[in-house]
Structure formats: C-alpha cells, structure tokens
Chain A
Amino acid sequence: MSVTAAGAEAVPLGKRIRRFMSDRPLVPLVILLVLLVVALQILRPGIVNERWIANTVKFAIPLAILAGCQTMTMLTGGIDLSVSTVATMAAFIVSTQAVEHGPVIGVALALLPAVLIGLANGIGVGIFRVHPLIMTLGTSLVGIGCLQVYQRTVIATGTKVPAFLSWLGTGVTGGFPNALLLFIPVASLILFVLNRTGFGRLLYAVGDNERAARLSGVVYWKVILALYVGSSLLAGVAGLLYVGLIKAPSLSLADPLLLPSVAAAVVGGTSIFGGRGGYTGTILGALILTVLTTLLTILQMPEGARRILFGLIVLLVTAAYLRIVEDR
C-alpha cells in the first residue's frame, strides 16, 4: 500500500501537470490568456481597465464568430475559406440596401448571398466530393467578383452603415459591449449544437471516421450541406456585426479576419484533421489572438516585424499546446 502511494507521489511534477492539463485542455489556454494580459499591463501600466476590456471583447467577437465557422467545418475535416467573402458581402449589401428598404429587408438581402454560397459549398463538398479548401476558395472568388459587379450598380447610392449595426458593433451599455447581445446567443447556439444535438454528434463522427459514419447510416451529404449553409449564415451575421464596428464598408472589409479565424480555431485546440475540438477553446483562441495583436501594436514595431512575430507565436503556441494536450 505504502509502495503504491510512494509511486504515485514519485510521478514528476511536470508529468502530473501535463496529465492535469490533458484532462482539462482549456486550462492552458486560460493561463496563456492571463499571461498575455499581465505582459500587456507590465509593458503599459494602467492600460488594462474596464474600457480596454470592453474594447478587446468588441474586436474579438466578430473573429470568434468566424472562428466558429472554422471550428464546425474543421470538426468534419474541412475548412471554410469563403467566410471572409460572405461576411464582406453581407456587410456591403446591408450598407447599401438598409437605407432604402429598412433594416429587416436590408438584413434579409444581406444574408441571401450567404445562403447561396453555403449551398454551393455544401453541394460541392458533400455531393461532388470537391476538397473543401478548393471549393470554398472558388466560391469565395466568385462571391468577390459578384460583389464588384454589384458595387457598380450602387455607386450612385453610396454606402451608409445602418444605425442599429453601429450601436451593436461599437456601443457599450453599463460597461458591457452591446455586441454581447448578439454573441451570447450565437455562442450558446454553437455550443448547444455541437454538444447536445444529434447534428453536432454527426459532425464529430464524420470528421473522426467518415467510412464508419456512412456504415452507421449517416447520410454524409445531408450533414455536409447543413454544415456549410450554417457556417455561411454565421459568417454573414459576423459581417453585419463587423461593419457596425469598423463603420467603413469596403470590398476587402473582412479579409484580414480570414486567416486569424483559422488560427483561432487551431490555437483553441480544434484539430484540422477533424473529430477533435470544441467551441469554448475557439472563443479563448479568438481572445488570445486579439490580445496578442494589441500587445504587438503597443510595442510599436514596424508592421513587417509585427506580422513575423504574430506568425511565429501562433506556430509556437499551437505546437506547444498540442504537445501538452495530446500527452496520453
């Protein structure tokens, strides 16, 4: 008895920590986030206050929603590179249509291309077995092209970001960003779908072992179609929110969010090969990337150096995280 007790205590501390973390994969992410905030506070004492927190959350939310699209598609072993185009299209259309037709019709029109691109992605990937990378890249290019054509027809009208989107995107009520009014339901929905619904189960199953899923009666194309339409709709919603935050609709509005959305999901522990991961990690990943961006900005480095550092840190964090979590 005493022998086993001694044996248990003899496990080296490092290994015990790793085991603890591999059982609770979110813990290292929270630690990293706190470390980044502390570093920020040390470099610029006093920067971390209520206003800064609200601001960080505001910028992290559109990224977190787009990263939600990546999380869900990556769980099936796919990826959705059309999210930035879909978001941009939604943002641009709502800024040109809402003035004339009112917010409801404006939002409906803005989300129409999202549904169409989602359907195209789903049909391409689910039925014709095009690789998701190529499929979503293709629809993304087509979408941007259509948006350029559309832009010419509305040059006379000009753009105006609807007031309710500015309120949602930038407003703060009682210290809390208004964007949370949108994000909390959206995030709850994603978490609920992934953890509690049959559809969520099937996403994990398809990504873990597609052959087994088919032989278990899963109708692959239906799952994939629903997934990509859902992903696209979310991207459209993120675009609406983002234009309210940036307040300057353009044809490349959401482009800078595309690769960070993939990075946030990966940093958050979702496997790009499918079957593993979850949305809570992704939200933490989006926060980490947003704080990291602030940190690199206040270091007042040249743009190039900032990007180099950002890339290296994402690589390092992902590699280190996988080593910690996958120690089984």
Chain B
Amino acid sequence: MDGEVRPLLRMAGIAKSFPGVRALDGVDLEVAGGEIHALLGENGAGKSTLLKILAGAQSPDSGSITFDGKTMSFANPHAAQRAGIVTIYQEFTLAPDMSIAENVFIGREPGPGPFVNWSKLAADTAAITRGIGLERNPMTLVRDLSVAEQQLVEIARALSMNSRLIVMDEPTSALSLAEVDKLFAIVRKLKADGISVIFVTHRLEEVIEICDRYTVLRDGRNVGAGAVADVTIDDIIRLMVGREITTLFAHREAGEPGEVALAVEGLTRRRTAQDPHATELRDVSLSVRRGEILGIAGLVGAGRTETARAIFGADPFDTGRVLIDGQPVDIRSPRDAIERGIGLVPEDRKLQALFLTQAIRTNMSIAALDRLDLFGIFVDERKERGLVDEFKKLLNIRMAGPEQAVGNLSGGNQQKVVLARWLALRPKVLIVDEPTRGIDVGAKVEVHNLLFEMAKSGIAVIAISSELPEVLAVSDRIVTMREGRVTGEVMRADATQEKLMAMMTLTSTAAAA
C-alpha cells in the first residue's frame, strides 16, 4: 500500500471561484484503490465544492481529474456515476413514496422495453441489500424505513451501479452509536471488496477508527495529507484551524456584566416523524447576563441555530424552560419573544430577515409598527423617517434614502438594517446568528463594533458564528455545542481556536473547560 500503487483517483490543481469567493485554489486529492480516505476541514474550507466537482455537479475552473488511469471531465452527475463514482449526500436523494427496489434501480429498471419486470427488480435488489445487512422486503416503501436503513438504500444504489468509489458526506451525523458501528462494518466490507470510500465527517474519532489516509483543506487549499496511523486528533485539529489568529478583529474591554437576563434550562427537542432530519436539542442549558456577549461555537448541525430559534419561539421544543430576568416565561411565537424583549437576527438575512423589494423604511420598522401607530390605525411616517434617520447615523448605513429597496444595498448595509430593526425595539436580549456571513471585511469590523456597543448599553447578546476567530473576537464567554448538546464552556481569556475545535468535535470534552 505504498507510493508504488497507482491511485484510483487523482484530482490535481482543482480551482473553482464563485462571484467574490475563491472556493478552491489548486487542491489535490489522491485516493488509492480499496482505501478509506478522510476529507477534512472546517466549515467553508472547500470540502463540499471539491466533492461537487468530483460528482459532476459543478465543473472546475481548472485542474484535472484522473480516475482509474483515464483523464475524466464529468459534464453532469450521471457521467460521474457511469464512470463509477457515486456520492451519498447528507440529505438523501431517495423518493420516500417509492419502494426500496424502485429507489435502488431508479431509471435503470430491468424489463422488456418500457415495462418493468417486477420480480427481477425485487430479486436483484434483495441480492444487493442482503449483502449489506438490510433485511427488508424490497417492496417496502422508503418512507417506512429508519434513517440508518435509508442510508443503506443509498449504499445499495451505489453498489448496483458497480461503483469503484463511494463518497459519503457526513454519513454518521444522523446515526446512533450502534448504527454507526454497523455502518463501519459495511464500509470495511466495501474496502475488502476493493471499493474506495471518501469519508467526510466532523467526528475526528471516527477518522482515527476507520480511515486509512486523510486530506485536510483550509480556505480552499491543501494543508496536509498522509496516513492516519501517523497522526493524532490534535495534529488534525491544528491543521484544520491552522491560520494565524487574525489580528483584524479587535477585542474589547469586557465591562462588568450585570444580572442574568436570559437563562435556558434543559431545552430538549426531539425529532418527529414530520421532520426526521431536524437537529435534536438535548438538555441545552445556558445563560447570558446584561452587558455580556455569549458566543456559541459549533459545527454545522450542532444545534446552535435550533437553540436560537427555540428560544425565540420560532420552533417548538418538547421540554425545558426559558427564564427572563429570573422569571419563567411562556414563549410560543416570535411575537411572544419580541414582547418579552428578545430579538433574533437570523442566519440567512435574505431568506429569513429582509423584504428585498420593499423600502428600507418598511424593512426597518416592521417589528416596531405598533410603536409608530397614530390612534392605533395608521403608521406615523414622520416618526418612521425619524427612526430611519436615527439608525442611519447610528449604524453608519450607506443608502440613497429611506425609500430605496433594501435589496439594492450591499450585504453589510443590509445586515445593519436588520440590526436596526431590532435595536429600534430596545431589546433586553439580542441573538445574532452568523452576524457577518457573506459581508466584506470592513463591514464585519463595523458589525463587531456594533455588538460591542450593544453590550455596553446593557443588552445581553448571544452571538452564534461558524468562524472561530469571530467567536473569539466578540465573545466574553463561549459555549460550544455538538449534536444538540452543550459540550463545554470557557471564558474568552482561556479560549484558543484549538481548544474550541476540540470541544466542538470530540465526545469526551467535559474536562476541556
């Protein structure tokens, strides 16, 4: 298994840019035959773009793909599949109201002409599914299967296409421990049969347990690759976060935080049949004081956004309670939360916060309309313009005028409009989810300074961010989450990126703080 072996897959110098972002900057990836290869990196490191290129869903700007000794360029996912590369995405691509057999052989059903030979279809399917331990009647509807079983159907489909390379994007994120063990047994069997697997995961223990080799990406570049046997989890974490801690983000002098403004105790939200892929919340407890900025760090799917939405009344939760100023409150809708003094700046401002075709004025005043009313009927537009003026100056929003459509502003100014919407209500608690996603560096600094100002004025701020430097820059105290659980808490002074990454990715982190 040494350098002599010709790799099954070689991606060399892959580059891909999107408007304004260089997602991949000359990335290499080599996978040998019969190898389980871990592809690792932080959120936004370029993993998914690389995999999409491999799956034929996107085409690279430059670079080459060699598969089984032949140079390939995949025009579409179908071409990649024909070549023997199948990708199993985190969100399954199964048709829930069709049977296992139909899903496995979709588009390739055996039959004479347009007719389907059902008995052959069932027999062919059973031959594959039995081999991977899926003991189900091939005519069972996919809807009636567990998440783990649905994953096996995806694997069966890959095998039915005679795949040489199966890409699994976070295959274990939705599985229980026992199901993970079963999956690993199947992956080992695939390996024994000479099939290669690219394994993407945020759980680094799994890399050590099952993978042969690894490749780490950071900011769209290779930062390390080698045999798993030669490294420790700590080494991998260091590679993943590696960038020098940027001095760009200024810290602030933390003031003396006041009383606890918001506390959450034992927040739990289970999966339901309607929403089987939702992130569960398991006994989440946290609190934030007046004048304090609490950072929440975690990888995608850790339950950060779900926690925020549950507190804000946007999603229901099963058990647990929310306390404001020490008093338990019953929040069932965003309206309730707003009346209790909580605000939420959601993670995707275009989808969840802004009315893109409407005027800045309207966007800013929407949550405060009842305070701008004259006689409870019509909007006092003079007051409304005053509000826009006030926040235009306060937040330094660069805009043509209050009637300008908010969709025409830059990302940073749009985010300031959303912040103004909440500040106009003078909230006690403001939750900001990815407050600087997709905005330029200058605006980021401005938004950070605004968060500092808010805390200074006595608002309790909860800041959720996928960028560790940002969490470290803005927070006074940091809570980490993983898979719907709070996995640790640390004061900013004691926190480093490595430490946070460990708390976000490892199971046994109780001692990390």
Contact = CB atoms under 8 A, between A and B. Distances in A.
Interaction A to B: yes
B379 A198 contact: yes
Interface in B416-459: 421
Contacts of A212: 346, 351-355
A276 interface: yes
A196 B362 CA distance: 11
Interface string A196-233: 11100110110011011111111100000000000000
Given A216-B367, A217-B367, A211 B351 contact: yes
Given A192-B378, A197-B377, A215-B346, A208 B356 contact: yes
A275 B355 contact: yes
Contacts of A205: 355, 358, 362, 366
A216 B357 contact: no
B392 interface: no
A128 to B, nearest CB: 15
Contact of A204 (B358, B373, B379): B358
Q: 3 shortest A-B CB distances, which residue pairs? A: A198-B369, A208-B355, A217-B338
A219 B333 contact: yes
Interface of B: 312, 314, 333-335, 337-338, 344, 346, 351-358, 362, 365-367, 369-370, 372-373, 377-379, 381, 421
A140 B508 CA distance: 62
Given A198-B379, A209-B356, 19 more contacts: A196-B378, A197-B378, A201-B362, A201-B366, A204-B358, A208-B355, A208-B358, A209-B352, A209-B354, A211-B351, A214-B314, A215-B344, A215-B346, A215-B352, A216-B366, A217-B367, A218-B335, A218-B366, A275-B358
A213 B346 CA distance: 12
10 contacts: A196-B381, A197-B377, A197-B379, A198-B372, A201-B366, A204-B362, A209-B352, A214-B334, A216-B367, A217-B334
Contacts of A202: 366, 369
A198 B373 CA distance: 8
SS class, residues of chain A in contact with chain B: helix
A12 B140 CA distance: 64
Nearest to B380: A196
Interface residues of A, number: 21
A121 to B, nearest CB: 22
A276 B352 contact: no
The winner among A198, A204, A219 for most chain B CB atoms within 10 A is A198
A217 B335 CA distance: 4
A188 to B, nearest CB: 13
A208 B362 CA distance: 12
A217 B337 CA distance: 8
Contacts of B355: 204-205, 208-209, 212-213, 275
A212 B312 CA distance: 13
Contacts of B358: 204-205, 208, 275
The winner among B344, B346, B365, B379 for most chain A CB atoms within 10 A is B379
A209 to B, nearest CB: 5
Nearest to A198: B369
Contacts of B337: 217
B275 to A, nearest CB: 16
A275 B406 CA distance: 13
A135 B409 CA distance: 38
A202 B337 CA distance: 19
Contact of B352 (A198, A211, A275): A211
Contacts of B370: 198
Contacts of A218: 335, 366
Contacts of A204: 355, 358, 362
A215 B357 contact: no
A48 B373 CA distance: 46
Nearest to B374: A196
